[in-house]
Amino acid sequence: MIYTSHIEISENAIQNNIKFIQNILGDETIFSSVVKGNAYGHGINIYCPLAYKYGVRNFSVADASEAYLVKKNLPYNDVNIMIMSMIDNDQLSWAIENDISFYVFEKNRLQEALKIANKIHKPARIHLEVETGMNRTGIAFKDLPEILKYIKANQKHLIVEGICSHLAGAESISNYKRITKQRKKFKTLKKKIKHSYAITPMYHLASSAATIRYPKTHLDLVRVGILQFGFFPTKEILVHYLTKKKTFENPLQRVISWKTKVMDVKTIKAGEFIGYGTSFFTNQETKIALIPVGYSSGYSRSLSNQGKVLIRGKRYDVIGTINMNMMAIDITHAETIEKNDEVVLIGKQGDSEITISSFNDAIQLINYELLTRLPENLPRIIIK
Ligand SMILES: *Cc1c(COP(=O)(O)O)cnc(C)c1O
Tens digits of pLDDT across the chain (384 residues): 678 999 999 999 999 999 999 999 989 999 999 999 999 999 999 999 999 999 999 999 999 999 999 999 999 999 999 999 999 999 999 999 999 999 999 999 999 999 999 999 999 999 999 999 999 999 999 999 999 999 999 999 999 999 999 999 999 999 999 999 999 999 999 999 988 888 899 999 999 999 999 999 999 999 999 999 999 999 899 999 999 999 999 999 999 999 999 999 999 999 999 999 999 999 999 999 999 999 999 999 989 999 999 999 999 999 999 999 999 999 999 989 999 999 999 999 999 999 887 777 777 677 888 889 899 989 999 999
Q: Is 322 in the pocket of ligand 1 (CB under 6 A)?
A: no
Work out which ligand 1 atom sits closest to the CA atom of 211.
9
* pLDDT at residue 124 in the model: 98
* pLDDT at residue 197 in the model: 84
* pLDDT at residue 1 in the model: 60
d(CA 378, CA 371): 13
CA of 216 to the centre of ligand 1 (A): 17
Q: Is 226 in the pocket of ligand 1 (CB under 6 A)?
A: yes
Q: Is 147 in the pocket of ligand 1 (CB under 6 A)?
A: no
CA of 343 to the centre of ligand 1 (A): 32
Work out which ligand 1 atom sits closest to the CA atom of 209.
7
d(CA 368, CA 101): 25
Number of neighbours of residue 21 by Cβ within 10 angstroms = 20
* pLDDT at residue 368 in the model: 85
Q: Please state whether beta strands 352-354 and 314-319 pair in parallel, antiparallel, or not at all (unpaired).
A: unpaired
Ligand 1 probe mutation, 24, 60, 218, 222, most atoms within 8 A of CB: 60
Q: Is 222 in the pocket of ligand 1 (CB under 6 A)?
A: no
Helix 11-25 and helix 44-53: axis angle, to 10°? 60
* pLDDT at residue 226 in the model: 95
d(CA 292, CA 55): 38
This prediction's pTM = 0.94
Angle at 244 between CA 164 and CA 211, to 5 degrees: 15
Name 81's bridge partners. Answer: 59
Q: Is 223 in the pocket of ligand 1 (CB under 6 A)?
A: yes
CA of 226 to the centre of ligand 1 (A): 8
Q: Is 230 in the pocket of ligand 1 (CB under 6 A)?
A: no
Q: Is 207 in the pocket of ligand 1 (CB under 6 A)?
A: yes
CA of 160 to the centre of ligand 1 (A): 21
* pLDDT at residue 196 in the model: 86
CA of 81 to the centre of ligand 1 (A): 14
Q: Is 224 in the pocket of ligand 1 (CB under 6 A)?
A: yes
CA of 259 to the centre of ligand 1 (A): 28
Query: 118 by DSSP, 3-state: which?
Result: helix
CA of 208 to the centre of ligand 1 (A): 7
Work out which ligand 1 atom sits closest to the CA atom of 233.
7
Asked if residues 252 and 242 have their Cβ atoms less than 8 Å apart, the reply is: no
Instruction: Output DSSP code: residue 379.
Output: -
Query: 81 by DSSP, 3-state: which?
Result: strand
CA of 213 to the centre of ligand 1 (A): 15
Asked if residues 371 and 381 have their Cβ atoms less than 8 Å apart, the reply is: no
